[in-house]
């Protein structure tokens, strides 16, 4: 029994997801394009053989495949991986934050005020926020900004048919507040490698189109925060108290720097977690 030999092109399409294509079979049985998918590299060859077998209506045992990795979309895969990396960084930030909160770095204290029979409730920081949180936040911003620039470079290569594309050193994902600056001929010249269609799409997502203003545009925030992180000291992160409820239960005994145990866990925001913190 002779085997059916076919080449199968494979490319990554996200974590643990691969697209299979058999160009030689395009048009078979009115199928315009023979494509399939694989979720596990251990099953790659079997899935490829099964794809061919279904189209030919034969047993997978009668099929032999030659796997070829398609790297033409590697630029997009790198950009996608950068975004996936930001999820890992965010998880690291959550872990560091939770460890920090577990050490109860802040305590409420009640101290006598200047007026008679009055007291002041203060929140004292016993341990500052970990510096590593600022570093990781900077990395998070960098990966997202780099992914945008990488996608623009890929579009420039696709549109111009050249690699490197024309004016490659001036290529970066544009983020503008002023439509006149975006439409300026000098700016269009810096993006000469992209088609008019791509240029119009880039214009459509600009902060100056956002409603009610640029502050509602995620690209503006990314550009602003990434710029500050690159050219200054990095961002100082701090917890934020959204709501506080203070009450007393008799008998009330006042003492300087009194630090009671909490009645219940206090919700803490940023990254969010319900953590035990001392309150009064």
| Segments making up each domain of the chain, as ranges | 4-70, 76-96+130-231, 103-127+239-280
How does pLDDT run across 22-78, given as a tens digit for each residue?
888 877 665 556 777 888 888 888 888 888 888 888 888 888 888 888 766 788 889
Please say whether the beta carbons of 262 and 277 come within 8 A. Answer: yes
Is the pLDDT at 181 greater than 90? The verdict is yes
| Predicted confidence (pLDDT) per residue in 207-224, tens digit | 999 999 999 999 999 999
Closest CA to 52 of 35, 39, 69: 35
Predicted local confidence at residue 271, as pLDDT: 47
pLDDT at 66: 86
Question: In angstroms, rounded to a whole number, what is the distance separating the alpha carbons of residues 137 and 228?
Answer: 12
CATH architecture of the domain covering 4-70: 2-Layer Sandwich (3.30)
Among residues 13, 12, 9, 30, the alpha carbon closest in space to that of 21 is found at 9
22 and 8 in contact (C-beta within 8 Å)? yes
Residue 225, phi then psi, degrees to nearest 5: -70, -40
Q: What is the pLDDT of residue 279?
A: 38
Cis peptide before 212 (omega within 30 of 0): yes
Average per-residue pLDDT in the chain?
Answer: 84
**63 and 6 Cβ atoms separated by less than 8 Å:** yes
Nearest to 19 by CA among 67, 85, 91: 67
Q: Percentage of the chain with pLDDT > 70? A: 84
Is the pTM higher than 0.95? Answer: no
Cβ atoms within 10 Å of 8's Cβ, excluding its own: 26
Q: Once rounded to an integer, what is the mean pLDDT over residues 228-255?
A: 77
């Amino acid at each position: 029994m002779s085997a059916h030999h076919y080449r199968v092109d494979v490319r990554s399409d996200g974590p643990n997801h691969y697209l299979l294509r058999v160009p030689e079979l395009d048009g078979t049985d009115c199928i315009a394009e023979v494509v399939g998918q694989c979720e596990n590299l251990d099953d790659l060859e079997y899935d490829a053989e099964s794809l061919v077998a279904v189209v030919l209506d034969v047993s997978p045992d009668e099929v032999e495949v030659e796997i070829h990795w398609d790297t033409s979309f590697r630029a997009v895969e790198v950009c996608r991986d950068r975004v996936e990396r930001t999820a890992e960084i965010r998880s690291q930030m959550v872990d560091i934050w939770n460890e920090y909160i577990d050490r109860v770095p802040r305590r409420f204290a009640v101290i006598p005020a200047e007026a008679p029979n009055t007291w002041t409730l203060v929140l004292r920081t016993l341990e500052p926020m970990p510096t590593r949180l600022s570093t990781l936040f900077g990395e998070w911003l960098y990966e997202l900004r780099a992914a945008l620039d990488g996608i623009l470079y890929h579009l420039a290569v696709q549109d111009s048919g050249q690699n490197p594309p024309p004016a490659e050193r001036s290529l970066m994902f544009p983020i503008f507040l002023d439509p006149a600056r975006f439409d300026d001929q000098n700016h269009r010249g810096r993006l000469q490698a992209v088609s008019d269609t791509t240029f119009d799409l880039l214009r459509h997502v600009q902060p100056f189109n956002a409603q009610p203003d640029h502050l509602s545009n995620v690209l503006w925030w990314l550009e602003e925060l990434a710029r500050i992180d690159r050219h200054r000291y990095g961002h100082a992160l701090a917890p934020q108290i959204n709501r506080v409820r203070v009450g007393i239960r008799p008998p009330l005994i006042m003492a300087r720097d009194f630090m009671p145990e909490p009645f219940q866990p206090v919700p803490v925001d940023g990254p969010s977690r319900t953590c035990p913190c001392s309150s009064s």
